[in-house]
Structure 1
Amino acid sequence: MPIEEPNIIWTITASGAVIFFTLLAILLPYLIIMHNILYRRLDSILFKEPWFNPAQLIMFKSWPMSFIKTVIYMFLIAYPTYIRKKKRFKDLKNVPVVEPSIILACKLYTTLHVAMILIGVAWMLFIFSVFAMDNWFS
């Protein structure tokens, strides 16, 4: 019985899924740990009216929406000059001081977060284009 070559579309789809879900499995516990570290340190400083509107102050207090607040904090700590140019933290004079290890952890998380978004979008576009080629253009 001859061995068949694997279908390249299946191989790309499976590799994209493995990479995406591996990053997801890494990032979720990472986010929970960073949330427990950052909300205790930064909520009293940043979780106020000028930087969050009243609806967000209510919404971001509870689980799971509080993780969005944590991701915002991580982007602020990792890339303060870029984030302070944006609308939310434009009037923030000083970025809260944290340990260098937390800055490094925030940079690592934001890099993996953006990589997961890009891989997920590329994976979705690939699957959609294969579906379109098979069904619409054949």
Structure 2
Amino acid sequence: MDLLIWKLLSVVGTSAFELWAGFPLGLSMDLPPWLIGAAAALGAWLAVLAVLIVRQVIPQRQTNTHSDKLVYRLARRYGACGLGLLGVIAFGAPLAMLTGLALGLPARSLFTWHTVGIGLWSLVGVSLLSLGQSL
């Protein structure tokens, strides 16, 4: 039982940096796919929550935004939904959250969409692991 806790903590810690990194780690430790997915989702979600907490503690500084740049145009077009669903998988949940906060997107909608994105991509990962193990 003690070894299982260390395995789960390893997957949670690895997934805090990148959601997909926890899946091969958990698979190499012979964990069941559903447990890998749950631990990976928990790690990514805790990282997003930590970013939100740190962002509330650090005083915010007003910057001169350049609304004509591509990043700002994409943020206006796709918003928190696009960043939460695609940013989680493209460059990691914490970095996607930081990017959204830096672009001035509302923290509540960012957190909601990141939670949905983490859950969705974790389900995809669990499905792929289960399919791979059944072959």
TM over 0.5: no
Structure with greater helix percent: 2
Task: Please indicate the TM-score interval, normalised by the length of the shorter structure.
Answer: 0.3 to 0.5
Q: Larger Rg: 1 or 2? A: 1
TM-score, with length taken from structure 1: 0.32
Greater relative CO (CA pairs within 8 A, separation 6+): 1
TM-score, with length taken from structure 2: 0.32
